[in-house]
Amino acid sequence: MNRVDERQKELYRSIAAPEGLRERALAGKVRPRRSVGRTALKSFLPAAACLFLTVSAMLLSVGRGSPPALSLNGTAITTEAVAVSAAAPANLQVRAAAFAVEEAPVPEAFELPLVLAVEGEAEVSVSTGTLRLDSGEEGELLTVSGEASVVWSVPAITQEETAELCVVWHGEERVYRLAYDGVSECWSFQEDN
């Protein structure tokens, strides 16, 4: 074993350095070795950035809360149609407007008592008619926070027309549509997806 050690020592001693290395080393032009800490830090930065973005996204989504909920006479408005007709509960008022020709579709006007529950603030707008809050505020575009009773007044609308209510919350838009359903022969209100 001693012989192998001597042989390895001789091989090591026979290795020649590149020409000019000694002069550069003596002149101070040799690059210093990077510390292990700096290399570890560089490999840690992408992981730290990814962790920061993930945590930020989670906090933002948690801060938003649940999406707005809209209901009509206690019935949640979803993508399933809710019938809106003269046979609806008593606090839902549907009234026929005057019509010019007997064969023309009969325009109808609606007063839809809605409840909007939202965490934070949401903007509510309508394509037809006006909105009215319990506070008396009225218009085509209102800002709502918390839980609010909203009455949507839709003036005379025919069976060929539709009316939309839009809720914008944290940049997310939900559209609800009042339209005549020819199959069930009644007006329906539902979320449009």
Q: Domain ends where: 13, 35, 63? A: 63
Listed in order, strand segments (DSSP E) in the chain are: 69-72, 75-76, 82-84, 93-96, 108-126, 130-133, 138-139, 141-157, 162-169, 172-181, 186-192
How confident is the model at residue 130, as a pLDDT? 92
18/47 same-domain check? yes
2 burial via Cβ count (<10 Å: 0-12, 13-18, 19+): exposed
> In the chain, how many domains are there?
2
pLDDT digits (tens, 9 = 90+) for 122-142: 999 999 899 999 888 998 999
81 plus 22 within the same structural domain: no
Same domain, 105 and 181: yes
Tell whether the model's pLDDT for residue 41 goes beyond 70: no
More confident residue, 152 or 32: 152
The structure's pTM equals 0.57
**Is a pLDDT exceeding 70 seen at residue 121?**
yes
User: What pLDDT is stored for residue 150 in this prediction?
Assistant: 92
CA atoms within 13 A on the CB side of 159: 14
What pLDDT is recorded for position 95? Answer: 42
> Residues 43, 103: one domain?
no
| Pair (74, 142) in one structural domain | yes
Domain housing 153: 69-192
Least confident of 9-13, 35-39, 51-55, 102-106: 102-106
Say what the pLDDT of residue 102 is.
43
If you average pLDDT over every residue of the chain, what do you get?
Answer: 76
In this prediction, residue 93 carries a pLDDT of: 42
The per-residue pLDDT for 166 is: 94
Determine the Cα–Cα distance for residues 126 and 151; give it in Å rounded to an integer: 11
Q: Tell me the per-residue pLDDT of 73-103, one tens digit each, with 9 for 90 and over.
A: 888 888 888 888 533 333 344 444 443 334 4
